Amino acid sequence: MADDLTGKGQGGRLPSRYSDQFQTFRTEMDRLFDSFLTGMPSLANLRQAFPAAQGLTPAWDVKETEKELVVTADLPGIDEKDIHLTIQDGVLSMSGEKKSERKDERENYHLMERSYGSFQRSIRLPETVDEDKVEASFDKGVLTVTLPKRPEMVKAQKKIEIKSS
């Protein structure tokens, strides 16, 4: 009788109906996950599927001159106070938050939308950069970071002529 209370049949093995039910459950769960994931965008197309996420990761433009590196980033809709810029161990890091709120009230109509997102980008700097003289400015949604090269590194460069044979 003890075998009946534990759910085990003769010989201490589970009756076949129990293993079939678990297999049926597992098959159904696999089917549900497959149907959920069907039609979901691949990771490569995630930016196209979710354009809001695209606006949260700003692209950097990096320009190098003889005396400096200049990094610019377009950050529309982001306040200067919500941008954090640091240099540590030769890595320039930028992070920030974008918050927006839209409210529309009319007779028999009330709409309020909020969105929030954060981003972080980092770039390793060359050894030529003088980290103590870095400057940043923010004007009309464009962040510009000027990274001067150390004077001794500018002079150390030597142009190598390429000769044709």
In tens, the pLDDT along 91-128 reads: 999 998 887 788 888 888 788 887 778 888 898 998 88
Q: Which two tokens stand for residue 62?
A: 């990096």
Q: How far is CA 122 from CA 5, 50, 57, 146, in A?
A: 61, 23, 11, 15
Whether pLDDT at 64 is above 60: yes
Q: Which two tokens stand for residue 123?
A: 């770039």
Confidence of residue 3 (pLDDT cuts 50, 70, 90): very low
Which run of H or E residues covers position 5? Answer: helix 2-6
DSSP letter, residue 57: S
Q: Which of 83, 59, 70, 57 has the alpha carbon at shortest distance from 138?
A: 83
pLDDT given for residue 85 in this prediction: 94
Confidence of residue 72 (pLDDT cuts 50, 70, 90): very high
Q: Which two tokens stand for residue 71?
A: 């990094």
Whether pLDDT at 14 is above 90: no
pLDDT given for residue 56 in this prediction: 64
